[in-house]
Structure 1
Amino acid sequence: MKPFETTIVVTEHDLDDLNHVNNVRYVQWVNDIAKQNWEQIAPPTIKEEYFWVMLSNHIDYKQAAYLNDTILIKTYVSKSEGVKSTRIVEIYNKDTSKLLAKSETNWCLIRKKTQKPTRITSEIRDLFL
């Protein structure tokens, strides 16, 4: 499957005291694009029954982003087994194509009715292929 992509423009709200994008903002972008991707590809019947929670996140910061930079964010699922899924997020400066950060995040599928982890079905796994 082609990676899911979105673009954003850095605003003052994204900046830290050093006038570059705050590291916390990158974590928010990782969460946001995962949610956007799920909302776009999952049919309503699946979204009514399941949701994802973030278990762990590792980000390698490569370069800084600054006010008014246009940011390209790409994501794809690299592995899904049992109750866990691993999602990769790459964050680029769209104008220079330079990689700013790369994240590997582990997510757990939760059944809404029980609020407990549940095995990833083949139907859900196929959404990400």
Structure 2
Amino acid sequence: MEEPTDTRGGTAENPAFSIVVEVGEADIDVLGHANNVAYLRWIQDVAVAHSEAVGLSFAKYRELGGVFVVSRHEIDYLRSALRGERLEVRTWIPTAMAAKVVRCTEVRRASGEVVVRAQTVWGFIDTARARPVRIPDPVREAFGMPRTKRASSVSGEGP
């Protein structure tokens, strides 16, 4: 996957979003640091929280007839996080295509040191047909993505 164009995260139109997590006992593996699966969960958690923060709850996605699903994760584990550490999980969307987006995520210590850097490809699917469809304009607007020239709903109905 290509390097993100903005590793600081976000733009004025599409700002980065972050949550803080604490590395808990359940996150620790046999080596005494956060397990890879914990990072994956935090990557999903921040994406869901970002979506909800811009007004796109699962109920809203259902109303629009579609939802984002993961088609690819690429994760670089740069350093280990330890039990009790508080980490900022920051995400932003540098690239939006017709039916998918690339979402970047960084996990950082309070010092700003990057622990994990990830890119995830999220495809937008019609929930009734389980097929890729264009990302509706209300979703693009909520995240600050460019508008499409197509209908504003998954069902194909106009605005």
1:39 equivalent in alignment to 2:48: no
1:118 equivalent in alignment to 2:140: no
Which runs of 5 or more residues in structure 2 are unaligned?
1-13, 145-159
Query: Which stretch of structure 1 is more off in the superposition, 54-63 or 43-52?
Result: 43-52
- Distance, in Å, in 1 between the alignment partners of 2:123 and 2:55 is 16
2:92–2:104 Cα contact (<8 Å) kept: yes
Higher strand proportion, which one? 1
State which structure, 1 or 2, has the greater radius of gyration over its C-alpha atoms: 2
- Distance, in Å, in 2 between the alignment partners of 1:27 and 1:76 is 16
For residues 104 and 43 of structure 1, do their structure 2 counterparts lie closer, same or farther at Cα, with a shift above 3 Å needed? closer
* TM-score, structure 1 as length reference: 0.91
1:24 equivalent in alignment to 2:40: no
Three-state SS of the structure 1 residue aligned to 2:46 is: helix
Task: Quote the residue 2:70 is aligned against.
Answer: 54
Q: Which amino acid aligns with 1:90?
A: E
Three-state SS of the structure 2 residue aligned to 1:86 is: strand
Residue number among 69, 85, 89 corresponding to 2:101 in the alignment: 85
Say how many residue pairs are matched.
Answer: 128
1:7-42 Cα offsets, whole Å, 9 max, x none, are: 011111001111100011111111111111112213
Cα deviation for residue 104 of structure 1 reads: 0.5
Three-state SS of the structure 1 residue aligned to 2:135 is: coil
1:107-126 Cα offsets, whole Å, 9 max, x none, are: 10012222221111333222
- Distance, in Å, in 1 between the alignment partners of 2:49 and 2:74 is 20
1:15 equivalent in alignment to 2:28: yes
- Distance, in Å, in 1 between the alignment partners of 2:46 and 2:39 is 11
Displaced runs of 4+ in structure 1, greater than 3 A?
Answer: 42-46
Higher RCO, Cα 8 Å, sep 6+: 1
Query: Which stretch of structure 1 is more off in the superposition, 97-106 or 33-42?
Result: 33-42
- Distance, in Å, in 1 between the alignment partners of 2:39 and 2:139 is 26
Three-state SS of the structure 2 residue aligned to 1:79 is: strand
